[in-house]
Amino acid sequence: MATTTTLTQAQPVLHLNGGVETAKTVDVDGTESQTDHGVPGPDYKYARFLPSFDQNYKLPPLETFQHTDPGLAALNDPEPRSFLAGAEVIELTPKFGSEVEGIQLSKLDQKAKSQLALFVAQRGIVVFRDQDFLDQSPEWQLNEWGSTFGRLHIHPTSGQPKDYPEFHLVYRDAKPKSAWAYDTQKLSSTVWHSDVTYEAQPPGLTTLFLYDTPGSGGDTGYVSQVEAYNRLSPSFQAYLETLSVVHSGVEQAEYSRRGNRGGVVKREPVENVHPLVRRHPVTSEKALFVNKQFSRSIVGLRTEESDAILNLLYTHIAQGHDFQVRARWKPRTVVLWDNRVTAHTAIGDFDPAKDGFRHGARITPQAEKPTL
């Protein structure tokens, strides 16, 4: 029997601190029924870090700043991986991705953080196990840790914990309109992207940690944009290096204005033009710098020409399983990646009502303006 569903949720500033959301289902014959969708209760340990959406919180446009990558300081270090002494390091693939056990990120000094920045730039994405990151204060996480790697970005549309707007929250519970809900009209939840590439200075070394994970599933996929570039023919590489791409945050802002993701737009959206191929300032490696979520068109090409090239690259990135890895989340895991040379996707293969909800925070330092 066909049905229609109407959600009846109030919209206070902080609306995820426990209780239920009620969905009213109306059959075509007029019969009504209700379903309650659970959210974390008031005794939830990390309730203070659940997303809030304040319609009155507004931010001015971002200003440019001078960024010096901390990884540069480790280039001339005779032992640039000495911070890994005593740790177990596993290569997830020969060229991309590592997993580390046996060191605490919270104990690294400035020299070790510089070595870490170089290591993440070289490996693309690094998974650190058994970390005490959650035991540290949010002030330490943001100021002592995140700001080491660049100016902290405040996301223009996502939910944030009260008093800590620099955290970008990743959240999905059992509510149909959860902040992390998926388009059920699509065959897959995967959307390969690099974060906020519409900014004039997109992020560099990025940190993600989870407060809670589902019993299984909810992994994060990563792809090497360096290796994606390297797989292309030299003549095509040379042509792509002449091109620039428009990256836009307009669609993301309009999506929020339509009442999705909490319905907030904290900063007016921007568009910026970046080279299609960029060079990493520390490793000097070239990487593709396009993603389906924010790249819109290639400057100077006809629509059909631009679409043909971008769609080819999107397919190449999405299907490049031999230069992808999958980060599996366990309690006390912290994942670092270099947003300049990787893309990633959430994997929505779990049912929050059965498997548990997914709740985490991303720390997103901005880096330099992309150049080739």
pLDDT in tens, 292-339: 999 999 999 999 999 999 999 999 999 999 999 999 999 999 999 999
Amino acid 176: pLDDT: 53
Q: Which residue, among 270, 13, 48, has the nearest Cα to 164 in the 3D structure?
A: 48
| DSSP calls for 314-352 | HHHHHT-GGGEEEEPP-TT-EEEEETTTEEEEE---S-H
Rounded-to-integer distance, Cα 1 and Cα 21, Å: 24
Q: Spell out the domain ranges in the chain.
A: 44-363
Q: What average pLDDT does the segment 23-32 reach?
A: 49
Residues of the chain with pLDDT > 90: what percent?
73
Q: What is the pLDDT of residue 117?
A: 99
> Which pLDDT score is estimated for 41?
67
Q: Which of 25-29, 291-295, 341-345 has the lowest mean pLDDT?
A: 25-29
The yes-or-no verdict on residue 171 having pLDDT over 70 is yes
What are φ and ψ of residue 75, in 5° steps? Answer: -60, -35
Q: Which residue has the higher pLDDT, 40 or 150?
A: 150
pLDDT digits (tens, 9 = 90+) for 203-240: 999 999 999 888 888 899 999 999 999 999 999 999 99
User: What fold characterizes domain 44-363?
Assistant: Double-stranded beta-helix (3.60.130)
318: number of Cβ within 10 Å? 18
Q: Residue 179 contacts by C-beta under 8 Å, 6 or more apart in sequence?
A: 51, 158, 159, 169, 171, 172, 261, 262
pLDDT above 70 covers what percent of the chain? 86
* Structure-block tokens of residue 152: 């902290």
Amino acid 22: pLDDT: 43
86-118 residue pLDDT tens: 999 999 999 999 999 999 999 999 999 999 999
